Every structure is written in C-alpha cells, then in structure tokens.
C-alpha cells in the first residue's frame, strides 16, 4: 500500500471519528474503539482527564512526628539545631505540638489542595501541599542558654511563616508560601 493511500485511510478514520467526513462512514469502520473518559455533570471531559493526571495521593501527615535537623534563617544562612531536640508532631485530629528546644508549643493544622510530589531533583514552588498552621502558642519557661532562646525564637518564627510541606527522601520539609525552604526534619 502506498504512502498516499495509508495517509488517506488515516484521514478518513480521523474525519469519521470527529463526525465530519466527505465519505460514507458506513464503509470505513475503525478497528479499535477509544472509550471516552468519565465526565461529571457540567465539566468537560478534558478537565477531569488533566486533573486525574496531575493528582497524586498525598502522604498522610496526621499521626506523624518529626525531629528538626536543619533550618534556614530569614537572612538566608543555614543552621543546625543546637544541643536540643526540636520536634513537630501532627495529630490526626488537626492539632500540632512540639518543642522548640526549650519551650513546648501547640497549634492547629490543616492541608488543602492537591499534593505535588517532589520528582525533578530540583525543588519548585508547587512541590508538596498547602499547610495551614493556626493558633500557634508556646509555653513561657525561660531557658538557661541564650543561644537556645535565640534558636527557639527562630523556630517559632519559621512555623508561623510555613505555607507548604513536602516529603523529600522520607524527610519532612516546611516551606513558605512561595516555596522557599524553612526547615527539614527526620522521622521521630
């Protein structure tokens, strides 16, 4: 079969599938059938198909506990947690608790939107999922070391700036709403 004949058959099949053809479609039937994606009333099928392709099941955040290992100061410098254990725990009931290295803190948390899995090796602003932390409060016990008190203030500030979370190599990463790194934590 010549190249022109094969191309003509493909065009006829495409035209008959689209509903417009100058030929009699009863003589040319496609050998395979393509099923249409499921649609929801009021939404075009292309919308559902593209959403399904982008949606990834979010890892479960409720019921997890983390130990902060590294954080970034607003000045841009990276700091390791100093002589303390900085923790963050997400309860399944939407409450959050932890320690800044000296004082304990409590808050509420909620995630919204779809989870965008970290895949490329290079972080982007859409990685992870929106994380809303609200009603953040802390105990008021003084710490003996000024450096620990300073660290506590920095961690508390970062928690308030948090806007997205993502798992990267099984570690929890908190980022601000623009995707900038705030801190990393290992499973606790």
Q: What is the CATH number of the domain that holds 85?
A: 2.40.128.270
Q: What are phi and psi of 172, to 5 degrees?
A: -80, 130
Q: Name the one residue in this structure whose structure tokens are 């982007």.
A: 124
Strands (E), the chain: 64-72, 78-80, 87-90, 95-99, 104-116, 128-138, 162-168, 171-176, 181-187
47 and 68 in one domain?
no
- 70-77: average pLDDT: 90
Q: What is the per-residue pLDDT for 58? A: 65
| pLDDT value at 73 more than 60 | yes
- SS3 assignment, position 52: helix
Q: How many residues does the chain have?
A: 188
Q: What is the per-residue pLDDT for 118? A: 74
45 and 10 in one domain?
yes
Q: What is the per-residue pLDDT for 80? A: 87
**Neighbouring-strand partners of residue 132:** 110
Q: How far is the C-alpha of 35 from the C-alpha of 27, rounded, in Å?
A: 21
| pLDDT value at 135 more than 90 | yes
| Between 164 and 9, the higher pLDDT residue | 164
Indicate whether 59 belongs to any domain: no
Indicate whether 32 belongs to any domain: yes
The dihedral through the CA atoms of 21, 23, 26, 27 has a sign that is negative
| pLDDT value at 172 more than 90 | yes
- Run of H or E including 11: helix 3-18
98 and 143 in one domain?
yes
> What whole-number percentage of the chain has pLDDT above 90?
41
Domain encompassing residue 162: 64-187
Angle at CA 95, nearest 5°, toward 125 and 150?
A: 70
41 and 82 in one domain?
no
Number of domains observed in the structure of the chain:
2
Whole-model pTM: value is 0.66
pLDDT in tens, 14-59: 344 444 434 443 333 333 233 333 333 333 333 333 333 344 566 8
Token pair belonging to 135: 């009603």
Q: What is the per-residue pLDDT for 106? A: 97
- 117-129: average pLDDT: 74
Beta strand 171-176 with 162-168 is antiparallel
Average pLDDT of the chain is 74
CB contact at 8 A, 147 and 184: no
pLDDT in tens, 98-113: 999 889 999 999 999 8
Q: What is the per-residue pLDDT for 161? A: 93
Q: What is the per-residue pLDDT for 82? A: 82
């Amino acid at each position: 079969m010549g190249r022109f004949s094969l191309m003509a058959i493909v065009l006829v099949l495409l035209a008959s599938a689209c509903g417009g053809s100058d030929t009699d479609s009863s003589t040319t039937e496609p050998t395979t059938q393509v099923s249409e994606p499921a649609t929801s009333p009021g939404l075009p099928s292309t919308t559902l198909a593209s959403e399904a392709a982008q949606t990834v099941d979010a890892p479960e955040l409720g019921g997890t506990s983390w130990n902060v290992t590294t954080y970034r100061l607003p000045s841009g410098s990276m700091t390791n947690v100093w002589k303390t254990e900085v923790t963050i725990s997400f309860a399944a009931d939407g409450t959050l608790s932890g320690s800044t290295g000296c004082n304990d803190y409590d808050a509420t948390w909620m995630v919204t939107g779809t989870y965008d899995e970290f895949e490329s090796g290079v972080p982007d602003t859409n990685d992870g999922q929106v994380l809303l932390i609200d009603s953040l409060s802390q105990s008021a016990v003084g710490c003996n070391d000024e450096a620990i008190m300073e660290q506590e203030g920095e961690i508390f500030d970062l928690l308030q700036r948090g806007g997205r979370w993502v798992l990267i190599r099984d570690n929890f990463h908190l980022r601000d709403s623009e995707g900038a790194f705030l801190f990393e934590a290992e499973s606790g």
